[in-house]
Chains A and B, each alone.
Chain A
Amino acid sequence: MAKPLSNTVDKGAANRGALVSDFTRQLVPILPLLVLIVVFLIWPIVNVAIMAFEDNYGNFTFDNFVVASQGVYAQAFGNSISLGIYSALLASIPGAVFAYIIESRGSEFLKRIINSATSVLANSGGVPLAFMFIAAFGAEGSATVLLKAIGLDIYAGGFTLFSYWGLVLVYCFFQIPIMVLVFSPAVQALRREWTEAARSLGASKWQYWRHVGFPLLFPSFSASFLLLFASAFSAYATARAMTVGTIALVPLMIGTLIDGNVIVDQFNLGKALAIGMVLVTALAMVPYLLIQRRVARWQK
């Protein structure tokens, strides 16, 4: 039996229900987090976003956005979006399988090792990351030399680390750990009882995955996929160290426009590109939310 006192929250809420919308009521407890996000992220960015609508003299204009959606900038958006998708595709599946294997078979000790390692690796990037791969797979890298010794010359077929696909490969070094890290809790939540229940009801492996495992994991998988997309879409330092700008990518252009030594004609173009990145992310949320809704219905 519920004690009347501890139930006041719900009762009060129900009484006010007619006056206060569900949404606002749900909003109150997350205010501390919202405040931090607003102060340390949204407010600063809004200040920058306003500048995206200004010309060099502070007058209102759409010109920055017009330029940002044309020519080499449009191409950069295309490249960055495809890089995000390929990288997410390539990293999500091995990451998910690895997470599943570790969570289902690994000892507690192994899990801690994996957990610590993935936390660190997920945050690797930039010049040091590029260097690690150069040290291994560069023209004189240890792996290259090793493979050559057993008769496999990876540079014979025109391979180069410093290209679009080279980036996709190097990004795996932080993308797969991100996937493992974010997806593991979902696998952990696949409770043993469900497997056993399914088994005792005579479900085959295929049936279990089709009706229990997959539907339960899919929302988490798509949430992780979206994160991987955003992560590769926006990666900056590693790409800069490996391409010196020879591939059109939005984050590189923003860096050049806002922080380059070569000063640009349109001061605020870089800010317009930054807003463009936020818009692409918002658009990427749409298919994601549709999938989530679909799955929610399916689970019922």
Chain B
Amino acid sequence: MKRLGFKLPSAGLFIAVLLAGVFVLLPLGSASEYSFRTPALGPGTYGWDNYAWFVSQPDFGTFITLSLLLAAVAAGITLLVLVPTVVWLNLRGQKLRPLMEFLTLLPLVIPVVALAIGAQTSLPVELQSNQYSLSFFYFVLALPYTYRTLDIGIRAIPLKTLSEAARSLGASQIKVIALVLAPVVRGAVIASVFLTIALSLGEFTLTSLLHWQTFTTWVTVISQSNILGAIALSVFTIVAAFALLLVVGLVSIRTKRRQVTEE
């Protein structure tokens, strides 16, 4: 990747990454120090006991699988519904953008507890009884971030010029989107999918208010009287989500490289 702006001293990058590292790792590291404590073996001793404790819980795998599944469906909705819509809005839906910007801010400002009450009083029972309805809620809750990430990423690309050029070469609308526009907006698309996954894996309030059991709500139940275990679980959740997204991200770099070499 070549650099974009004017030359920056590479010290700038180094300092930025260093500061960000301290900013994130100081609180996270301090919390994880507690998660490794093993008071049963005496003060000042450390080990993996608290992690072994939750991994050995009978439902650990079940709920992780369920949460991953719900996150995957939510990510699918982002890809299939949101991405095409934002592309369209930038192509020729300019007038609707203020409306969409407002609508997509709402999930953030509407208190989740109010949303939960409204959803339970207004949505059909069949929909509420289906656990995959959660994925749709996660998708909506992620909209403030995903919509903006996509919109900002796509906004600055001369989509119109690109799509007109492609169409004048005989490509259909779908082909234009799939083959010409998709690769260009790739970065923003990946970011928005990541956001959806991260939000889905970590969402607690709405899930709990709608009386579903997922990984996050299971965590609060099992860690009730295990203080250090609860801390270990919250550290694990953050680190595991990060690792998962990193792996997905690295795979996507590889496939991109392969595509480039094949072309």
**Cα A102 to Cα B34 with chains together (Å):** 32
Q: Is the CB of A208 within 8 A of B6?
A: yes
Give Cα A7–Cα B151 distance, bound, in whole angstroms. Answer: 26
Asked whether any CB of chain B lies closer than 8 Å to the CB of A122, the reply is yes
* Stretch in B39-47, B51-59, B62-70, B194-202 with 4+ CB within 8 Å of A: B194-202
A 232-275 binary contact with B (CB < 8 Å = 1; else 0): 01101100000000000001001100110000000000110010
- Chain B nearest CB from A221 CB (Å) reads 9
Give the contacts of B190-225 with A (CB-CB under 8 A): 190-191, 194-195, 197-199, 202, 204-205
| B152 near A105: Cβ-Cβ < 8 Å | no
Q: Which residues on the A side are within 8 Å of B153 (C-beta)?
A: 185-186, 188-189
Residues on the A chain within 8 Å of B154, using CB = 185
Interface of A is mostly: helix
**In the assembled complex, B24 has its CB within 8 A of some CB on chain A:** yes
Q: How many A residues are at the interface, by size bracket?
A: 35 or more
Q: Which interface class (under 10, 10 to 19, 20 to 34, 35 or more) fits B?
A: 35 or more
Query: How many cross-chain pairs have Cβ atoms below 8 Å apart between A and B?
Result: 304
- A112 CB-CB contact with B under 8 Å: yes
B249 within 8 A of A: yes
Q: Which residues of A contact B104 (CB under 8 A)?
A: 37
Q: How far is the CA of A282 from the CA of B101 in the complex (A)?
A: 10
- The CA of A183 and the CA of B101, in the complex, are separated in Å by 15
Chain B 105-118 per-residue mask, 1 if CB under 8 angstroms from chain A, else 0: 11111111111011
Task: Say whether A23 contacts B2, CB under 8 Å.
Answer: no
A41 to B107, CA, bound (A): 7
Whether the Cβ atoms of B118 and A45 lie closer than 8 Å is: yes
B178 within 8 A of A: no
- B245 and A115 within 8 A (CB): yes
A141 to chain B, nearest CB (A): 6
Least distance between B34 CB and chain A CB atoms (Å): 6
Please give, as numbers and ranges, the residues of chain A lying within 8 Å of B105 by CB-CB distance: 226-227, 230, 281, 285
Q: Are B145 and A182 in contact (CB under 8 A)?
A: yes
Most buried by B among A131, A182, A231: A182
Q: Is B89 an interface residue (CB 8 A)?
A: yes
The reply to whether A101 and B231 contact each other, CB–CB distance below 8 Å, is no
Asked whether A131 lies within 8 Å of B168 as measured between CB atoms, the reply is no
Q: Is the CB of A41 within 8 A of B110?
A: yes
A274 contacts B110, CB within 8 Å?
Answer: yes
B114 adjacent to A270 (CB under 8 Å): yes
A224 CA to B117 CA, complexed, in Å = 29
Given contacts A187-B4, A226-B105, 4 further A-B contacts (CB under 8 A): A136-B31, A142-B29, A143-B30, A227-B144
What are some 23 contacts across the A-B interface (CB < 8 A)? A27-B96, A29-B85, A30-B96, A40-B136, A40-B137, A41-B110, A44-B117, A44-B121, A45-B118, A46-B118, A109-B253, A131-B234, A135-B34, A143-B26, A185-B156, A186-B155, A188-B153, A192-B3, A227-B144, A271-B114, A278-B106, A285-B102, A285-B105
